[in-house]
Structure 1
Amino acid sequence: MPRADAQRNIDALLSAAKEEFARQGVDVSVRAIAARAGVGTATLYRHFPLRSDLIAAVFRREIDACAADAERLAATHAPDEALRLWLERYTRFVATKHGLAAALHSGDPAYNSLPGYFHENLGPALGRLLDDGVAAGVAREDVDPLDLLGAVSKLCVPSPVEDDGPRVYRMVALLLDGLRYGAKNPSAPE
């Protein structure tokens, strides 16, 4: 476990990198990231010797946060609302990661473990929300969490001819409506 000051620097660097990646893409200068984090470039390189180390760490951190939000939403909202809010959260996660996507699919071996990390963390997180939805009768029971993650990801691919951010959310809402089709009401007689 890093010392408290080192952990603060790591947290600041990851937050700054996330913001700079979203604004300028993953090829943004390390000086810009370090400046936003309020540290020197030597501190950045001490914690993340390679750009791929920083990109992978940002991606893992975002996956962890998204998975944690599923738990929080499940504990604080009705199943249908928790599922809707989490899919919107996941949509924001995917929609802001287009710069990361190119890096992640670059063939760099530094990213080889990330697809597994994604599936191992977000699949179960969404699976729990879907299970809660099935039990409440607001989601059909034949939905594979990884299929749904993939469908939402595909909906988030930007259109080459138009920039209509709200369109993604409308399409995800339509997909969510489809999850309700065929849901079994748990209190209905069989």
Structure 2
Amino acid sequence: MGRDTGGEDTPQGKDVPPRAQTSLRSDAQRNRERILEVALAELTRSADTPLSVIAKKAGVGQGTLYRNFPSREDLVLEIYRHEMRQVADSAARLLETREPDRALREWMDRLALFAMAKAGLADAIRQATGAPGSPARPGPSPVIEAAELLLRACEEAGTIRPGVTADDMVLAIGGLWQLDPTGDWQPRATRLLDIVMDGLRAGAPGR
């Protein structure tokens, strides 16, 4: 974890050697990721958690937090975007190392984790987007595109029934958003997703 500078920007530019600049950028990225990680946990517990508490638990100064996220709204929506990007980006990586139908099923588990994070952040998201003039909640396009990528790979491999769209799948797994993120949601999510996956495989030409 990078050392906080007490709210002052660290000098960068031609007077800083390239290797040092790379190190500074790495430290800044680690600080940002740590803030997002802690903020997700803290705001899930309480939407009213002070930003000063998040900064302290992340091991950074308030100046560092505000340089990355000038307002509570910026922080909440970036958590949402970050978690969604993590899910979306994992689709292509899974396809590189697994058969398409296994990649799809594992991706569903990651989508379930995102659904629980989103449910846990519901109050914080409402606060960030509910007032007049507040920024809009990011749309689900990256996740939809990732689902389409996986479904088309499975269809080409003959491991799911043809013609299933991302919208079809989102409707089929809509029960994820009904689960309580503070309860024993994982066994229920696994059962639901296994049922959905069995339905997708039914009638697959390659089976």
TM-score normalised according to structure 1 size: 0.82
Alignment of 1:100-119 (within 5 A): 100-105=121-126, 106-108=129-131, 110-115=134-139, 118-119=140-141
Contact 2:35 2:58 in 1 (8 A): yes
Could you report, residue by residue, the CA deviation over 1:34-87 in whole angstroms, capped at 9, with x for unpaired residues?
112111223222321221100111111111111111111011001111011000
Within a 5 Å distance, the mapping from 1:126-165 to structure 2 comes to 126-158=147-179, 163-165=183-185
| Whole-angstrom CA distance in 2 between matches of 1:49 and 1:150 | 36
Alignment RMSD (CA, Å): 2.4
Structure 1 residues 54 and 129: CA distance shift in structure 2, 3 A? same
Give yes or no for contact 1:94–1:153 (8 Å, CA) kept in 2: no
Structure 1 match to 2:61: 40
Misfit runs of 4+, over 4 Å: 108-111
What's 1:13 paired with?
35
Question: What is residue 5 of structure 2 aligned with on the other side?
Answer: none
Q: 1:179 to 1:111 in 2, by over 3 A?
A: farther
Q: Give deviations 1:71-112, integer Å, cap 9, x for gaps.
A: 110110011110110001111111232132334355345442
Give the residue type in structure 2 aligned to 1:12: R
- Structure 2 residue identity aligned to 1:49: P
Larger radius of gyration: 2
Taking the TM superposition and a 5 Å limit, the aligned residue runs for 1:1-190 are 4=25, 5-22=27-44, 24-105=45-126, 106-108=129-131, 110-115=134-139, 118-119=140-141, 121-158=142-179, 163-165=183-185, 166-185=187-206
SS in 2 for 1:19: helix
Looking at structure 2, the residues matched to 94 and 65 of structure 1 have their Cα atoms a distance apart, in angstroms, of 12
Superposed CA deviations along residues 4-25 of structure 1, whole A, max 9, x for unmatched, are 1433332221122123234x13
> CA contact under 8 A between 1:13 and 1:34: conserved in structure 2?
yes
- By how many angstroms is 1:153 displaced? 4.1
Distance 1:139 1:37 in 2: 43
> % of aligned pairs identical?
36
Structure 1 portions without partners, runs of 5+: none
- Indicate how the Cα distance of structure 1 residues 153 and 13 shifts in structure 2: closer, same or farther if over 3 A, else same: farther
- Equivalent pair of 1:26/1:55 in contact (CA under 8 Å): no
Taking structure 2 as the reference length, the TM-score comes to: 0.76
How many residue pairs end up in the alignment? 179
Q: Name stretches of at least 5 consecutive residues in structure 2 with no aligned partner.
A: 1-20
CA distance in 2: counterparts of 1:44 and 1:93, whole angstroms: 23
